[in-house]
Amino acid sequence: MKIYKLTQIAKEIDIEYSGEDIDIYGLHTLKSATPNHISFFNDKRYIDELSDTKAVAVLIEERYINLLPKTTIPLITDEPYLKLALISKLFAYKITTKGSHPDMGEGCDIDKRVRFGKNIKLGSGVIVMAGVYIGDEVEIGSNTIIYPNVTIYHHSKIGDNCILHAGSVIGSDGYGFAHTKDGEHIKIYQNGNVIIEDSVEIGANTTIDRAVFGSTYIRRGAKIDNLVQIGHNCDIGENTLLAGQAGIAGSTSLGRNVVMGGQSGTVGHIKIGDFTTIAGKSGVTKSLKGNRTYAGFPAIEHKLWLKLQAKISSLIKKDK
């Protein structure tokens, strides 16, 4: 674990700070930060979380500092998101090509053409086929099958009885950049991980991005088709079904038993309720209530969408 002094971080990102020199263990959201984390505020949707944050310091514009708890240090900047990106690099995991033999349970079947990083744990009866790469600190549960050419990035956790089909990528960086005033794109290093619970199946060439901080979750029993994209910090609920070419933007939460048809997609930072069905090619632009079926772009309730299509069809016929 990397630990930096707060004064050191402030100097690195060119922010004035001369107070107590506190150990900082990393970055986190306002809601999840501990007294050893720095957080940030750049989106008014999260303004209610400022007063309750436990972060030791927050990157924030001066006009909002009165909303912080007295125990939280304001790191004043007019570019909090950009400063977040600069700090994220300090805490990025150091990638190396060195590896070691994994700690394996009984009855594992590992092809000789598999590459391992360091400190990997495999449960009993794990099958890993040719061309697979498994990164540092990965944990894989018992009776999981990993097909050829799967890539599992560092610190990912995969449960029991999972199936990962060929070419899938678990734990790649999410799509996150802060933008300078001159239009340059600065990488936000993705320092979280991916957690896949038990009895999950991941289709061929599907990608699941690691979290910026915290975890991207694929909950127990979810079944994900080929060519699906799941963004960073998503939470995919138990027994959810995602059909081919579905796309879930970052920080979206799906409840349990959600069904998303082929080529459907969502914007980020929304919630979709339990037992929701989203028809193929639909585009979800806001949070949706559960136990309903939606269709279209922007996605609306399916019955309303059918009426809308009938109305449009009748208008076209009248014009002929």
Active-site positions?
A: 232
State the Cα–Cα distance between residues 7 and 78, nearest whole angstrom: 19
What's the rounded Cα separation, in Å, for the pair 247 and 174? 13
Report the distance separating Cα 76 and Cα 59, nearest Å. 6
Amino acid identity for residue 231 in this structure? G
| Residues in contact with 173: Cβ distance below 8 Å, sequence separation at least 6, in sequence order | 189, 190, 209, 210, 232
Classify 114 as helix, strand or coil.
Answer: coil
Q: How far, in Å, CA of 293 to CA of 282, rounded?
A: 11
Measured at the alpha carbon of residue 119, what is the angle toward residues 144 and 235, in degrees to the nearest 5? 55
* Pair type for strands 277-278 and 271-272: unpaired
Single out the residue of 144, 106, 105 nearest to residue 128, CA to CA.
144
Nearest to 88 by CA among 189, 176, 173: 189
Cβ proximity of 187 and 205 under 8 Å:
no
- Residue 292 is encoded by which pair of tokens? 């309903």
Cross-sheet strand order for the sheet of 169-172: 115-116, 133-134, 151-152, 169-172, 207-209, 229-230, 247-248, 265-266, 283-284
- Pure H helices in the chain: 6-12, 80-90, 302-319
